[in-house]
Amino acid sequence: MAYRVVQYENGRLHVLDQTVLPHQENFVELENLAQVEHAIRTLQVRGAPLIGVTAGFGVCVGLKELPDDTPADQVRSRGREVVERLSRTRPTAVNLFWALERMAAVLAGLDGPNWRSALDAEAEAIFRETLDQDARMADHGMQLLSAGERAITHCNTGPLATGGGGTALGVLIEAHRRLGGLHVYADETRPRWQGAHLTTWELMRHGVPHTLICDNMAAALMRTRGVDSVWVGADRIAANGDTANKIGTYGLAVAARHHGVPFYVVAPTSTIDPALESGEGIPIEERDPAEVSAPGGHRISPGDTPVWNPAFDVTPAELVSAIITEQGVFRGPEYDFRRPPSEE
């Protein structure tokens, strides 16, 4: 990867501010818990896996003010508060809760003076596992691609979304490197334009041929120019394979099914929520109406216009051709994730 997204060292957490890309490449230091919360809520840090990674390090940052000799019971008490506050930042991406549960387990087991190193080690382990998962997902996703593939992607699922190689876009970037000839059509992804701001920036950095399209052009593109596959990420996957992802994904899946185009979801097993039987139970975050009515601070509708602004939608499993995790490629009949899939 040609650029860093997150770095944690000696209690200092730095993240690439994704709200100012592609015009500025600005690293910000998150010095306290409030700044970590703000970074996640305002999308300075975004992408389900990277939210989880940041939350893991965020627990360490939230406890930074405690002296090293703080008794374990006081660390646990403050730690529970930190975990609770971080859990309220974004409701849909399950990776956030997966990472916080791991950090909470370490907090619960603290019984000596080395509490800080124990928490740092667990947060770093979450990050390293994310890097490994990304590489393995790229290897598995390669099975479904060929040289010269024309693919559509939605939102941003590259290194910016994970801190590693990426999920869906990571597969496409790696496939272009190994196979060559890929062309990626990037949905702009209203109302925050992650595809326009972030995905095109990443594709350019990695030398992948690409074309930016408005979200409502995807179906026409499939019909008139031809598309070989659609690749998206996920913020939460239910036990039956129903998938929550950035708003607009469901419509893209419907168009893909109508035109006979394979629709692939790429996400690590930490994105699977086996406790949810179906997508009906996935909480959908609703964001500031101004993202729709006044994008970038420029009002495009009358001030009293009602707005509905869900950040995500749910794609039914029957529209998903395959789900690719670090454990392999899972097709429709295999969507039974009551327990996360494993290699055993």
Catalytic choice (235, 242, 273, 313): 235
**Concatenated DSSP letters of 42-67:** TTSS-SHHHHHHHHHHHHHHHTTTS-
Spatial distance between the Cα atoms of 25 and 29, rounded to a whole number of angstroms: 13
Sheet holding 322-325, edge to edge: 210-213, 183-187, 150-153, 229-232, 263-266, 322-325, 328-331
Kindly give, in sequence order, each residue whose CB lies less than 8 Å from that of residue 192, ignoring residues fewer than 6 positions away.
43, 291
296 alpha carbon, distance to own chain's centre: 22
- SS3 for 131? helix
Spatial contact of 171 and 202, defined as CB atoms under 8 Å apart = no
Calpha distance 230→205 (Å, rounded):
21
Question: What does the alpha-carbon distance between residue 39 and residue 299 come to, in Å, rounded to a whole number?
Answer: 24
Please list the helix, strand and coil fractions of the chain in percent, rounded to the nearest 5, in that order.
Answer: 45, 15, 40
Q: Is 235 a catalytic residue?
A: yes
Instruction: Annotate 153-185 with b (16+ C-beta within 10 A) or e (fewer).
Output: bbbbbbbbbbbbbbbbbbbbbbbbeeeeebbbb
Active-site residue set: 235
